[in-house]
Amino acid sequence: MKNDVSNREDVALLVRLFYDKVRVDETLGPIFNPIISDWETHLKHITDFWYMNVFGGKSYVGNPITAHQEVDDKSGNNIEAFHFGTWIELWFSTIGENFEGENADLLKRRARKMQTGLLVAIYQHRQKN
């Protein structure tokens, strides 16, 4: 039996394992690798985001919508639904391989909701530009 995501260290491990997959993925790697130059800072920042999503507090500072719109701009406005499909598949598989329980399920639900919102925000941003 796997443990649930129960503290910041678990969230940090999940984020690191997930981005290990993203960085070598043939669909997502070419988007993220040229843009993120300081992976350790990025991993800490994303850990703050997911920790806040599960455990509350104000550890994350930033705007994920704006950040993803900028990534889309930098990648030539080529981010599409299949990129988010790959992202969610990697996220779910990383969770499933390492954790199970209420918080693991919450992380999946929040990611699914975020997936839809970010994709819509990216398309809306393109229409404005």
Where do the domains of the chain lie, and which CATH numbers do they carry?
Answer: 8-128 (1.10.490.10)
pLDDT value of residue 59: 84
Please report, in tens digits, the pLDDT of each residue of the chain (129 residues total).
899 999 999 999 999 999 999 999 999 999 999 999 999 999 999 999 999 999 998 888 999 999 999 999 999 999 999 999 999 999 999 999 999 999 999 999 999 999 999 999 999 999 987
- The number of beta carbons lying within 10 Å of the beta carbon of residue 101 is 13
pLDDT value of residue 129: 79
pLDDT value of residue 9: 98
pLDDT value of residue 1: 85
pLDDT value of residue 27: 97
Q: What is the DSSP string of the chain?
A: -PPP--SHHHHHHHHHHHHHHHHH-TTTHHHHHHH-S-HHHHHHHHHHHHHHHHH-SS---S-HHHHHHHHHHHTTS---HHHHHHHHHHHHHHHHHH--SHHHHHHHHHHHHHHHHHHHHHHHHHHH-
pLDDT value of residue 47: 97
pTM of the model: 0.93
